[in-house]
Chains A and B, each alone.
Chain A
Amino acid sequence: AQTVTQSQPEMSVQEAETVTLSCTYDTSESDYYLFWYKQPPSRQMILVIRQEAYKQQNATENRFSVNFQKAAKSFSLKISDSQLGDAAMYFCAYRSAGTSGSRLTFGEGTQLTVNP
């Protein structure tokens, strides 16, 4: 079974600064997808960024980028120019790429605080 670990329960960053959230995972599969989701107090999970394991290039979405290290099974999220609206709980998630793999496996989450 796959596992996802987020070792930082809480992080804080100053507005306009950069912060990196860590995520490691364990799997024996070679093909899979990795995601970062944001959960504000409204509870709704919002997809921030996704990475296909077969792609060597790190995904980027505006101020959000990832550092995907497949051999190390590491998938960190970098938020640049942090904004107050970035404050939320962030979850790293894994999904198998095969037809049998449909569920998302989540880490425990990192609560991000953005200080003005």
Chain B
Amino acid sequence: GAGVSQSPSNKVTEKGKDVELRCDPISGHTALYWYRQSLGQGLEFLIYFQGNSAPDKSGLPSDRFSAERTGGSVSTLTIQRTQQEDSAVYLCASSLWQGNTEAFFGQGTRLTVV
């Protein structure tokens, strides 16, 4: 596609429910990143994919968080048993490869856990 697409744009869920956030990167981009932005804060790295593998998932805050990428394209970030502290904007970015090229960001998913 023309840009990085994320869905849903906004998600409200009840505490304890599972949620799935989707990221569709720019076509041909092999590197994909997930970041979390809490209210008024900077971006916190979660996980990085090169193709379908995740060489760096050190930023995932707990085992309730997981992510996968299939076909070297779409990625899904899953949060199980959501907690109120999971409320944040989840941003996805992609780049041609994992080197020095520009990372293009999507518009994020605003997750609110009530």
Contacts and interface: CB of A to CB of B under 8 A. Distances in A.
Interface in B88-110: 89, 91, 93, 98-100, 102-103, 105-108, 110
B100 A95 contact: yes
A19 B78 CA distance: 41
Interface stretch (B11-19, B38-46, B68-76, B79-87): B38-46
Interface in A83-116: 91, 95, 97, 99, 102-109
Interface residues of A, number: 23
Contact of A106 (B31, B42, B55, B108): B42
B93 A103 contact: no
B107 A104 contact: no
Interface of B: 31, 33, 35, 40-45, 48, 50, 55-56, 59, 89, 91, 93, 98-100, 102-103, 105-108, 110
26 contacts: A33-B100, A42-B107, A43-B107, A44-B105, A44-B107, A45-B93, A46-B105, A47-B102, A52-B100, A95-B100, A97-B100, A102-B31, A102-B33, A102-B48, A102-B56, A102-B98, A102-B99, A103-B33, A103-B56, A103-B59, A106-B35, A106-B42, A106-B44, A108-B41, A108-B42, A109-B40
Interface of A: 4, 33, 37, 42-47, 50, 52, 91, 95, 97, 99, 102-109
